[in-house]
Amino acid sequence: MKLLLINPNTSDAMTAGIAQSAQAVAAAGTEIIAVHPTFGPLSIEGHYDEAFAAAGVAEQVRLAQAQRPEGIVIACFGDPGLEAAREATSAPVLGIAEAAFHAASMLATGFSIVTTMTRTCIIAERLVQRYGFEHQCRGVHGTDIAVLDLEDGGEAMTRQIEDVARAALSRDRSGAIVLGCAGMSALCQTLTERLGVPVIDGVAVAVKFAEALAALAASSLTSSTEGIAALPLARVQADAALPLGAGVNP
């Protein structure tokens, strides 16, 4: 299958790292097309950043249409632009947060989220509510590690995340940890070994879920085009000629 992997921030290094994590779990027949928007923030650490990121996701979904991806993964823990992307394509679109919550709820009776800056905890908390996981998510914890610092974090940073996760497991009485940033993807194996519980990386989970849904699509299970997931109105398509990008990082 052809999988479009969108890093909604504009960091080339982070896009490459996310693509590497996706490739490590992808099936032999899965082609990963890793992209990021032509405009927007280098990292997404709040609602203002997410506003640009959502538009960037919509841009990349439209630009990739000619390649007809059979699955799309939005690789940012805020799942920016997820609903818009679902309106614009019949391919399954997965956000790494939503995918991680589903996987965690299948692996443990309760899970805790460990994310980057504490200021972004509210974003994860609202996603937990929006996706209906209030009963399974026992807590959201910030490490106050900036997103871009994850790129070359080293042992001290890994240990900082491990310590927050260990405290969360104890305080929340959780059985699993969800990594609250696509940039933590490369740490999943190490943290799993050190913590002794399932540590869920939304990038890996979303890739495998997308493969499963694409395989099922062959048996006619496709995304719905009814209700709010209806394809954009003709006028929106007409707007598609609007100039995109050429913005500057805020």
DSSP per-residue letters across 211-235: HHHHHHHTTT-----SGGGSPPPHH
| Of residues 73 and 108, the one with the C-beta less far from ligand 5HY | 73
Minimal distance in Å, beta carbon 96 to ligand 5HY? 7
By C-beta, is 182 or 197 nearer to ligand 5HY? Answer: 182
Q: Give the SS3 label for residue 114.
A: strand
Q: Which is nearer to ligand 5HY, 70 or 111 (CB)?
A: 111
Q: Identify the sign of the CA torsion 66, 79, 249, 184.
A: negative
Closest CA to 166 of 176, 156, 153: 176
What is the contact surface with ligand 5HY in residues (CB under 6 A)? 9, 43-45, 76-78, 115-117, 120, 123, 147, 181-183
Q: How many CA atoms lie within 13 A of 90 on its CB side?
A: 8
Q: How far is the CB of 188 from ligand 5HY (least distance, A)?
A: 13
CB of 161 to ligand 5HY, least distance (A): 12
Nearest to 3 by CA among 93, 119, 86, 66: 93
Sheet holding 199-200, edge to edge: 137-142, 111-115, 176-179, 199-200
Give the shortest CB-162-to-ligand 5HY separation in angstroms.
Answer: 18
Structure tokens at 151: 């790129």
- Looking from the CA of 158 toward its CB, the CA atoms found within 13 Å total 15
| Nearest to ligand 5HY of 147, 186 (CB atom) | 147
- 8 Å CB contact between 205 and 96: yes
| Residue number, 149 or 215, with CB nearest to ligand 5HY | 149
Q: Which is nearer to ligand 5HY, 40 or 70 (CB)?
A: 40
- The least distance separating ligand 5HY from the CB of residue 165, rounded to whole angstroms, comes to 15
Distance of closest approach, residue 46 Cβ to ligand 5HY, in angstroms:
8
